[in-house]
Structure 1
C-alpha cells in the first residue's frame, strides 16, 4: 500500500489473505484484531509503520511469537516482527546481535559451537527480544541474574519514528527504561546481548506422583534455603491429561515436576539433588548431564499454541502455610484443574546489575504462578479460581513479574505492581518524554505521567 511508503513486507487488513494467521500467536484465547498488520522485513519497515501510525493516531502493538500477550489489540496497527530473524555471534567478545523476530532456540544453536549460551528461558520457542525487555527469568538466573542485565545495546524505533541505537552512554534514561519497560518506549528491532561461557548443564526433571506431592513441596521448600546460586529450580503441580502426547507414566496423573538447572559439575549436581531423590520413587527422572542445546527439555513445555490465562505473585518467603494453601487451591484434590508453579529466585537476581535497568521486584525470594487452560467461551470457574489465587496471596505479595502477566488480561494494577513505586514513577515520567501520546499502549502499559 502506498500509504506505508517504503514498507517491503506485507500489509494485511481484516478479511484479507493471511490476516487471521498473522494476528494469532501462541496465545489463542485473545488474538489481536488490529485495523492493519505490517509484517516487517527489517528495521526500516518498523520505522515506516510507526511513522504511519503516529500520523494517523493509531496505537501500535508488536508481536513476534505471541507467548506473552498482555492484552489484545482491538484496532490500531500491529507490527509483526517474526521475519526479522538475524543472529550474529561474536565469540571473542562473547556477544550476540539478535533481531526482533528471533526465538531463543536460534540463539542457543548459534552460540553452542563456540561453547557459549544466552541467558534463555524455559521455552526455546519464546521470542528472545520481548523476553529480555521484560526482565527475563532464565534457567541460570540465580547464577547470572536477569537476561536484561546482560544487554549491551538496543536498536529501537521511538514514537517520533526515529531509529535509535541506544546504549548506557548515548541515552542512559532510554536504555534504563527499555530494559524492564518492555514495549512502552518503542519498537525494539534488535539487541546486542552478552553470552555466557556455558556449554552444558546438570539438569532435567523429577516427576513425583500425587501421593508424594505434599512431601515434595515441603522438601523442595526447605531445600531451596540451602542450595548455592549455581542451582536454579522450580516446582510445578500439574494435572496431566490422559492422552498419548504425554509420556505413559504421567498420563492421567496429578504430578509434581521439579525442574533442575545446575551450572556446577555433575558431581556437585548429584550431591545437591540427593535430598530430593530421597523423598521417594519418581515416575520419571531425567536429571543428568546435558548440553545446553537440550535445556528446553528441563521444563519440557508444550510447543503447541493454546488458550490460557496466567498470573503470578512474587513473595519473600515460602512457608508451610502457603504451601498448604496452594495444595488446597490446585493440588490433587482441588476441584479446579490448573498448573501452579513456584520458581526459586534470589541469588544474582537479587543483586543490582552492573548497568542499572528498570526490572522490578529483584528482592523477591520466590515467584508463585497460576496458569489455567481456557475453553472457546468465557469460563466463570477460571475467573473464580484466579480471584481466589489473588486473595490467597494478597497479604504475602511484594509485587508481580511482568513477563508472567500474560493471557490477554493484564490489568493496570498488575502492571504497576511489577515495579517498585519509585521505579514506576520514573518510568511514567520517561514515558511522558519519549511517548507523550501513549502511541505504544497496546502492551503492559505505563501511561505517561
Structure 2
C-alpha cells in the first residue's frame, strides 16, 4: 500500500513538473505605428528574437498612426499601463525628452544592464537627432528615413526629358514639360508639406529653421524660417500652383498615391515610401536627391532624418529592462540591420550595416535605397543641419501648414504666411518652454 501511495505521488509530482515551466518568461510589450509590409518586418524581428532565447518574449502591438501611438503611450504611462518599448516619430522627440519619469534613456539602460553598446557604431547623422548635446543616446533609432524625389521615368521619356532634374529651376521647367505632355493635373508635388518645404529645405541649403541649432541646443529656441530662401521657395510654389505645374497634396502622406497611380510624375516624400512604390507603381521609377537652388552658397548641405525611434518607458522592473537591452542589442546586429534596410527601405542605423550592403554590391541594383544615405552623409552636419528638436512639434506643423495653405490659396503672400507661421509658432514654443520649466 505504501509503495502504491509512493508511486502515485511520484506520478503526480512528475505531471506537475511537466506542467510547470522551468522559469518564467518575461514579457516585453512593444507598441508601434507600422502597417503593411513594415508591420511584417516588426513581427518577424520580434519572432526571431523570441526564438533566439528563452528568457524574454517581445509582443508587438499596432496602436495606430505615429501621433496616435505616442499619445496612447503617454496616456498609458499616466495610468500605469505603459508598454516597455514605444515607437515615437522624430518630431515627438522633444515631448518625450521632457516627460519626466516617463522614459528610461537608452544610454543609461545599456550601462546599467551591461549589454554591449557603442554609440560610435551608429551613423552620427541618425543618432544625433536622438541624443543629448553630450552625445548620450536617449532613444534607439529604429526606422530612419529622409526626403527624396521620386521620379516616373516613363513620364520623363514621354516628355522628352533626358536627365533627372537636380535643381529646383530644373524641376520647375521639367514639370511644365510634363504638364504639356499630358500630366495636366500635377507636374510635381510632395507629401509632408512642412517637412519637405521648410524643415528639409532649410537644412539642405544650410540656413536655420530656428535658433539654438534648430532647438537641439535648448528649448529657448526661436523660429526664423521666414527668411529669403524659404519665402522665395514658397512664392515659387504659389506661382506654379495656379496652373497645376505644382499641385498641393496635403499635410501628411495621404497624397502619396498620386505618384504610384501615375498622376504626379515627380513627387517628394520619404525614402520610406519605397515599399509602396515597389509594390504599386506600374511604370519604371527611381528616386534622386532633393533638388536645390544652385545660387545658394554651398548647397546642397546634408539632409535630416525622418521616421521614428524606440523609447524605453520608465517604471519597469530590472528583468524587463534586461530584456529590452538584450532586444536593442539584437536589433543592432549588422546582418539584422542589413535585413531591415533591404526589406523596408529604411536606413541601416549602423556604419557596419551600411558598409556591408555596399560591399555586397546591393546598391548597384538598388541605387534608390542609397539615395537618402548619400543625402544624410553629403557633408558634415552644421548647426543648421544636425536635425531639429522643437516642443509641440505636431501642433507646430499644423500651424505652419495652415499658413502655407493660405498662401497657396492666394489669401496671403509668401512673406505674410511665413511671418505668421513664425509668430504663431514662437508663441507655442514659449508655452512649451514654460511647461518644461515647471
Q: What TM-score do the two structures reach when normalised by structure 1?
A: 0.27
Bigger share in strand: 1
- Structure showing greater radius of gyration is 2
Greater RCO structure (CA 8 Å; 6+ sep): 2
